[in-house]
Chains A and B, each alone.
Chain A
Amino acid sequence: MSAAPNPSQSPSPGPDHGADWAISVTGLTKVFQGRRVVDDFDMQVPRGSIYGFIGPNGSGKTTTIRMMCGLLTPDGGEGACLGFDIQRQQAQIKSRVGYMTQRFSLYEDLTIRENLDFFARMYGVPQRHQRVREALDELGLTGRAGQLAGTLSGGWKQRLALAACLIHDPQLLLLDEPTAGVDPKARRDFWAEIRVLARRGVTVLVSTHYMDEAVQCDYIAYIAYGRKLIAGRSADIPHMIGLTTWRVTGGDLSALEADLAQQPAAEQVARFGAVLHVSGRDGPALEALAAARQGHNGQRWSLKETELEESFIYLMASGTDNFQPSGAV
């Protein structure tokens, strides 16, 4: 994984969508009713990595994922998924990719076993019965195999959906907001499973707007209004955004929060329990602010390393709802 090239670098002219990448696309564009939902989008996902795809609702994440796995035809751009052309070799891509949709998309009126069996048949899985039995065992659902999928809880539905899109041992897993509406415990279990898969060499592209999921990813791309705004190793993201962050403790933090809302230098104020993280891109201005408030109301200001959490909040706050006609494009 460490040997993988840095995905943030923009591709050289005549991009090589070769075998190093699980996904490599350039200039990907999709227009719906005159609106550029995805606009000149580039992305390189190294094989075997967990790649986080973050951005507000309506920013084009789902559309991008659908284009990568052959469910939508791009209006522009080119690329490869597992070495197959996304415009022409959709059948080859489909048989090697597991795609988990945002909405539960298995048959609610089929049982758990029937659903798994159906998808095993669709992918032509060899030794189907055995594979379905294994999948049921791994899920821990052998005893409830005859239960209708529609009667499962959100967390179980999500695990079943994951099992269904893993039934043919795909090399690439595309997860579109897989944990939406799932409780935190189920989410942690889910991510433990994702990491196991990644260690086995499965590439995982996951879209999310949860911070605790973003921090689990090796790489992150941030998309807003259909455009990629930033992409890189998770560890590099804070530097790329260039935020300075101050940590404030003690005193009346709520009053300080209200006060800082008037200060342009304090672009972002995030509360973590009894601690306030104040961030901004203008470092000197923020330092001046910190110096002025130091000791005020018994509050202590200290400079801290900007981490992915602050960066994530910063990114997510910069675009709230991309369904509105955008000014950013």
Chain B
Amino acid sequence: MLGFSLSRFLAVLVKEFIQMRRDRVTFAMMIGVPIMQLMIFGYAINADPRHLPTYVEVQEQSPMARAIVHAMRASSYFDFKGEVRGPEAGDRLLRDGRASFVLVIPQNFQRDLLRGQSPQLLLAADASDPAAAGGATNAIARIAEQAVASVLRGPLSSTAPQLTAKPAAFEVVVHRQFNPEGLTALNVVPGLLGVILSMTMVLITSVAIVREAERGTMEALIATPVRPAEVMLGKIIPYVLVGYVQTGVFLIASRALFQVPFLGSPLAFFLGFNLYIVVNLALGFLISTFAKSQMQAMQVSFFLLLPTILLSGFMFPFAAMPAWAQTIGTAIPATHFLRLVRKVMLKGAGLGDISGDLAAICVIMLVIVVVALRRYRQTLD
């Protein structure tokens, strides 16, 4: 009798489905909200971020190369993280999101420049977030130009006097990876899945549970021998299925309306969104243990929605945020889910590439579930 009862769990499950079906407004919201947000955010959002993590691959040691690296350090667009050797290292950093840019200063850059042969600087950019890539790619040409000019005027003024007069002749080649056309929608739309799921899942679960307390049905419910885990699972699983429907609607809409590609592993995506749905439902459950009324549950859910939108890297590039905001952002499940979805959809990531994000969500979920189950009372105290 003290163990988990399948019959009681099923009882709660069946009841929740019936109530969900009867509550037309909420049901309409579950489908309507994602579509509406998709329209608003998908078409409306843009930003101009700075302080993006940048690595440099320096293939020659020259005053010119040092001057360019130095100028990049000084610029607010780039946050110089270090140097890499070889093209694979740079690609890997871009794919797993640790670098937004990798600047390659090729061998013989200074020599070719001095000879007037227009050498190329290669800037590989993670353009999956075009807002992040856009401003910086424009800036790089200007920054490099100034760096080169100052070197020519200074230490090298005697070697190539003819060059000080006119602008240095070199080219910046920007290689936009993952989103070559720089479409904002390609970045925002995958991120939107995280926001939509978070918003509806947290809100709906917390309200559905608090409703029991508010209508007085909780008293009759816990007067039965029901166990907390039975209530929690029975209440959460119907909404997991709602999350599936939302994800399905989302995938179809993102392909049909915004031509967002899906390049990565479906399995990785499947694992990720399931985990993410569950963590949000658990969060809703946790809120319900604090909230005294449906109105309160709603307010708390909306309150939590703000950091989810602003600090998760959905609206502004995560790397461009100040350290305190990144710390808060790291504790938000959406932050990790957003990275995961963008990697899988835009960068073609597989299970291995997203294992860190999955692990982070698991840790957050564990904390939430433990706190929620401890707070959920079998009594009315």
Contacts and interface: CB of A to CB of B under 8 A. Distances in A.
A124 B8 CA distance: 7
Interface in B324-381: 378-381
B15 A106 contact: no
A109 B215 CA distance: 11
B323 interface: no
A157 to B, nearest CB: 12
Interface string A109-124: 1100010001101111
Interface residues of B, number: 29
B225 A91 contact: yes
A92 B225 CA distance: 8
A90 B378 contact: yes
A130 B330 CA distance: 54
A66 B1 CA distance: 21
Given A90-B378, A95-B225, A123-B225, A71 B7 contact: no
A114 to B, nearest CB: 6
Nearest to B222: A71
Nearest to A32: B381
B10 A121 contact: yes
B380 A71 contact: yes
Contacts of A124: 5, 7-8
Contact of B379 (A73, A105, A118): A73
A71 B219 contact: yes
Max chain B Cβ within 10 angstroms of own Cβ: one of A92, A97, A109, A122 = A122
Interface string A72-113: 110000000000000000111011010101011111111000
Contact of A114 (B5, B15, B218, B225): B15
Interface string B1-41: 11001011011001100110011000000000000000000
Contacts of B22: 109
B11 A69 contact: no
A50 to B, nearest CB: 20
Nearest to A109: B22
Contacts of A101: 216, 219-220, 223
A90 B217 CA distance: 19
A295 B330 CA distance: 91
B217 A105 contact: yes
A70 interface: yes
For the residues of B in contact with A, the DSSP-based class is: helix
B225 A94 contact: yes
A71 B19 contact: no
Nearest to B217: A105
A105 B15 contact: no
A297 B5 CA distance: 74
Interface in B258-302: none
B223 A69 contact: yes
B23 A109 contact: yes
Contacts of B14: 118, 121
Contacts of B222: 71
Max chain B Cβ within 10 angstroms of own Cβ: one of A107, A108, A123 = A107
Contacts of B122: none
A75 to B, nearest CB: 10
Contacts of B19: 107, 109-110
Given A70-B379, A91-B1, A122 B11 contact: yes
B242 interface: no
Interface in A23-47: none
A146 B22 CA distance: 13
Contacts of B217: 105-107
A242 B219 CA distance: 39
A69 B226 CA distance: 14
A123 B224 contact: yes
B18 A122 contact: no
Given A72-B380, A97-B223, A124-B8, 7 more contacts: A73-B381, A101-B220, A103-B219, A105-B215, A110-B19, A121-B14, A164-B220
12 contacts: A71-B379, A90-B379, A91-B1, A101-B220, A105-B218, A105-B220, A109-B23, A110-B15, A118-B15, A122-B8, A123-B224, A124-B5
